[in-house]
Amino acid sequence: MGSAASASSTTPNTSKEPHHEPFATPPDCRHRRTAGHAHALAADSNADLYDAVAPADSAFVRVLNLSERSIDVTLSGKVNPQKVAAGQLSGYRFTPAGAHRIAIGSQAIEPQLKANAASTVVYDGQGLTLIADKYVNEPKKAQIAFYNLTPAQVTLKTVDGKTSVIDPLGKDQTGSRLVNEIKIGFAAYVDQQNVARFDELFLKKGRSYSYVLLPQGSGYKSMSLANSIDPTE
C-alpha cells in the first residue's frame, strides 16, 4: 500500500464520454481543509480511509527516486522508512507541519513543511531537492501537476500541440491546473517540438495527477500517474 503505481494500473476502466472545454482556469493554489486535500492526493480505492486518518493541518511529502537503486527514506516523526524503487514516485506521507528531517542514508535535508501543503523531494543519487507542490481542494475538478526536471523550458500541451495546458517551466519547477473530468493524454513541448508523450489517464474530479518530464541520455523520459497517499507510520 502507498507506493506509486504505474499509469496503466491507476487508469480506471471506463467508457465515460469526455466533457467539452475540459480546461478550467488555473488555480490560485491556496490550500483548504486538510481532509479534502488528502482526498485529492489519495488513490481512489482508499480515499475515505486516508481522509479519516490525516489529522487537521497536516503536511504532505513524497519522494521521486531518480537513482538507479531502491532507497529507504526516513522522515522525522515516522517509525518506518519509506521504500522507493528506482525510477519511482512514492505516495505522499502526512506529518505534522514544522521542521522535519528527510534522509536517505547520510544525505539529508531539513525543510519547514507547511500545514495543508504538499512537497516532492527529488533524489538523484547525489542529493535531495525539495519542490513545493501546488494543489487545492476542489472536488468538482480534477487537478494536474506538471514537473519539469530537465534543463529546457518545457510546456505541457495537448498531444496535437494546439492547446497549452501548463505554461513553460524551467528546471525543477512545477505548475498545476484544474480540469474537468476527462480521459486524455498530454505531451511535453520545447518551443514547437513535441519531445515526449504522456500516457492517457482518466482524470477524475476530486483527484490529482502528476506528469513528470525527466532527462534520459540525449532525450527525454515521461512519467504520468494518479497521486496516492502512504498512511504507514
Percent of the chain with pLDDT over 70: 78
Can you tell me the distance from the alpha carbon of 185 to that of 202, in angstroms, rounded to the nearest whole number?
9
Q: Please write the tens of the pLDDT for every residue from 140-199.
A: 999 999 999 999 999 999 999 999 999 999 999 999 999 999 999 999 999 999 999 999
pTM: 0.81
User: Mind listing the pLDDT tens digit of every residue in the chain (233 residues)?
Assistant: 333 333 333 322 333 333 335 654 433 333 334 556 676 776 554 444 344 468 999 999 999 999 999 999 999 999 999 999 999 999 999 999 999 999 999 999 999 999 999 999 999 999 999 999 998 889 999 999 999 999 999 999 999 999 999 999 999 999 999 999 999 999 999 999 999 999 999 999 999 999 999 999 999 999 999 999 999 89
- Cα 232 from Cα 54, distance rounded (Å): 11
